[in-house]
Amino acid sequence: MLQNFGKYLLFMKSLFSRGESPRILFNRTIDEAILIGINSIFIVAIVSTFIGAVTSVQVSYNLVSALIPKSTIGFMVREMTILELAPTITSIVLAGKVGSSIAGGLGTMQITEQVDALEVMGINSASYLVLPKILAALFVFPLLVIISMFLSIFGGYIAGTVTGEITAQEYISGIRSDFIPYNILFALIKAVVFSFLISSISSFRGYYTSGGALEVGAASTSAVTNSVIAVLIADFVCAQLLL
């Protein structure tokens, strides 16, 4: 494990040696951002909306005391969404979707000698292939988390009002009460940290694939599991350090 961590650090270092021109890096980053971002919006939207809806229903279910105002449902949905669900669940979903895609893509390029082809041309394959993916993830993940926050709160609103558990006015009152702007910053910091972990770990797993199709599948699987574990550990560390 320690050896793998050392290899990972050296891999990270290799991204910054013999880099391509800023123009090429910029174009590649935009391409990757479109791939990561656009292709992930649908799944993020679905997951976020339903998480918000389920949170709303479950909080409502647990509110048995008549002394607790109904607006607490809106408050709880907001707090849970912003602090935890939007950044963490979105990142875990993206670890599955984007992480496996990155590892599978790089792994396939490795076993079909496309990475060697880049190296023979004198191009730093790690820098050319991986750095734009990481930069794109750093840029796109926070945007997806912001979308997730909106949709999750919206999902809670729809579920709460449609089921008749809460009125629209109560819900909106709840989500506006005791708002701490720092929590948004905290969520975005987490999104940036998670995006780096997911994109770099998945790239590392994919880049060092050797063998055949079976190994590409194994690399994708390990990329997802390693990324998810890293995200959960980082989630705890961020909470300890930043809250």
Partner 1 sequence: MIEIHNIHKSFNGKKVLDGISGVFETGKTNLLLGASGTGKSVLLKCIVGLIKPDIGSVTFDGTYFTNNKLDIRQEIRRKIGMLFQSSALFDSMTVEQNVEFPLKMLTDMHKDERMDRVNFCLQRVGLEGSNRKMPSELSGGMKKRVGIARAIAPNCTYLFCDEPNSGLDPLTALKIDKLIKEITEEYNITTIVVTHDMNSVIEIGDKIMFLYEGKKLWEGTSDNILDSNVPELNDFIFANRLMRDAKKVEEEEERNEAS
Residue 171 near residue 74 (C-beta atoms within 8 A): yes
Least CB distance from residue 160 to partner 1, whole Å? 45
Which residues contact partner 1 (rule: CB under 8 A)?
18, 20, 24, 108, 112-114, 116-117, 119-123
Comparing CB distances to partner 1, the nearer of 63 and 123 is 123
Contacts of 89-92 with CB under 8 Å at 24 or more apart are: 89/47, 89/48, 89/51, 89/148, 90/44, 90/47, 90/48, 90/141, 90/144, 90/145, 90/148, 90/191, 91/141, 91/145, 91/190, 91/191, 91/194, 91/195, 91/198, 91/231, 92/228, 92/231
H helix and E strand count, the chain: 11, 0
Least CB distance from residue 140 to partner 1, whole Å? 19
Comparing CB distances to partner 1, the nearer of 20 and 84 is 20
Comparing CB distances to partner 1, the nearer of 116 and 242 is 116
Burial state string for 98-133 with b = 16 or more CB within 10 A and e = fewer than 16: bbbbbbbbbbbbbbeeebeebeeeebbbbbbbbbbb
Comparing CB distances to partner 1, the nearer of 109 and 238 is 109
Least CB distance from residue 2 to partner 1, whole Å? 20
Least CB distance from residue 28 to partner 1, whole Å? 11
Comparing CB distances to partner 1, the nearer of 9 and 119 is 119
Comparing CB distances to partner 1, the nearer of 30 and 189 is 30
Residue 100 near residue 227 (C-beta atoms within 8 A): no
Please tell me the distance from the alpha carbon of residue 109 to that of residue 174, in angstroms, as a whole number: 50
By residue count, the chain amounts to: 243
Least CB distance from residue 122 to partner 1, whole Å? 4
Least CB distance from residue 105 to partner 1, whole Å? 9
